[in-house]
Chain A
Amino acid sequence: MLAGGVAAGIFGSLLGLGGGVLIVPLLTLGFGLELRAAVGVSLVAVIVTSSAAAGVYLERNTANLRLGMSLELFTAIGALVGGVIAFLIEERVLAVLFAVLLGYVALSMVRQRPATAIPEALAPVDPDDEDVQAEVLRHLSGDDYAVRNLGRGIVGATGAGVVSALLGIGGGIIKVPLMHLAMGVPMRVATATSNLMIGITAASSAVIYLIRGEIDPYVAGPTAIGVFLGASLGSRVAHRVDLRILRGLFVVVLAYTAIQMLLRAVT
């Protein structure tokens, strides 16, 4: 389990994913855990890895603290809702949802293009505009970029929170494109800010799993340590690995895992 966690951490770190997408299948298909128990453990592992990274991003002033906290209020609300829903729906449905998520991640990797700096020309906020939303956006913007589409950001962040709580993932796969493409946040800042938000998103639902007895300390301890070590190792060896080959291999693994999850749901 420790070794599996290390592998999940390395892969996740090299491919820019949180560990959740890998930990849940590892624990359910590899160790026979129930899906809800695996989701609870995954949330804990996600908090460990994101917290360490978020600390570094804050120290280096890469993350946008004000934007991150404003959006994480809504991811936390979404996670609360998702955490409650997770205990109301059948595990089969959760397995199907997870298979869909894996398919989506695999497809995103196949279609991945090199990140551009900023998707569209920025429309700087008019300093004379006294509109409340413009004032809030100005407050949330960075030194050299303007944040826009706050409403879209709030809706997306809430959805990311629901998905995170249901499937045990950090939700970075939703938050990063949301901030980068919809809100005009540079990729580097979006990634750092997403990392910052993942901790609170996962903690909001992890407490529900914990209090309802779905987190086993004997499983969560080794898995979290493994993912933490793996993520640290992954970030050190990233420059030596051919990511195209790794990504191709990973797409195959994701597709296979998605099929296994679907089979688990229907049998």
Chain B
Amino acid sequence: MIGHPPNRRFEWRLGRMLIIVTYVAVSLLLVGVALMLIGGISPLDGGPLLDIPRLIDDLAGLTPAGFLWLGLLAVIATPVSRVLGAAVGFVRGGEPLMALVAVAILVTIGTSIAIAVATG
């Protein structure tokens, strides 16, 4: 044994979570694409911008954009949820340095969002 032994059970759970969230995101995108096909919408028609307050109405109204946006948000959230899960696991496993690394990654993504909002 050269390095620190991995926590196999924790990593297995993290991997399973990643797969499940990915499939949920892909399913939402699939519904959106199916609704596009049913509605005769071309990908080159130009979709609406993300409007979070309108998202629930779009989903209730079965509009393609609602499902596509929710799917896209889920896609971007997938790796973030893995880092969040890892942070919790590292805290529980008594690895404060790795937990700190996970928090720093989340802070970096938060900074990306803040910069985009401020300059967008």
Taking Cβ atoms with an 8 Å cutoff, the residues of A that contact B are 1-2, 31-32, 44, 47-48, 50-52, 54-61, 63-66, 69-70, 72-73, 76-77, 79-80, 83-84, 87, 124-125, 136, 138-147, 199-200, 202-208, 210-213, 215-225, 228
Q: A199-B79, A221-B71 are in contact. Are A58 and B12 (CB under 8 A)?
A: yes
The reply to whether B16 and A207 form a contact with Cβ atoms under 8 Å apart is no
Binary contact readout B15-50 vs A (1 if CB under 8 angstroms, 0 otherwise): 111110111011001101100100001111111111
Q: Is B53 an interface residue (CB 8 A)?
A: no
Q: Count residues of chain B with CB under 8 A from any CB of chain A.
A: 65
The reply to whether A2 and B33 form a contact with Cβ atoms under 8 Å apart is yes
What would 5 more interface pairs be, CB under 8 Å, given A2-B33, A143-B6? A47-B79, A54-B79, A61-B11, A77-B108, A212-B119
Instruction: A212 to B42: give the CA distance in the assembly, Å.
Output: 22
Taking Cβ atoms with an 8 Å cutoff, the residues of B that contact A are 1-6, 8, 11-12, 14-19, 21-23, 25-26, 29-30, 32-33, 36, 41-50, 64-65, 68-69, 71-72, 75-76, 78-80, 82-83, 86, 97-98, 101-102, 104-105, 108-109, 111-113, 115-117, 119-120
Contact of A48 among B25, B47, B64, B68 (CB under 8 A): B25
Instruction: A141 to B2: give the CA distance in the assembly, Å.
Output: 7
Q: How far is the CB of A87 from chain B (nearest CB, A)?
A: 8
For A211, the chain B residues whose CB sits under 8 A away are: 113, 116-117, 120
Smallest CB gap from A66: residue in B? B98
Smallest CB gap from A206: residue in B? B76
Q: How far is the CB of A214 from chain B (nearest CB, A)?
A: 10
Contact of A218 among B18, B45, B78, B83 (CB under 8 A): B45
Q: How far is the CB of B16 from chain A (nearest CB, A)?
A: 6
Instruction: A102 to B13: give the CA distance in the assembly, Å.
Output: 37
Instruction: A87 to B19: give the CA distance in the assembly, Å.
Output: 32
Q: How far is the CB of B4 from chain A (nearest CB, A)?
A: 5
For A77, the chain B residues whose CB sits under 8 A away are: 108
For B117, the chain A residues whose CB sits under 8 A away are: 211
The reply to whether A204 and B108 form a contact with Cβ atoms under 8 Å apart is yes
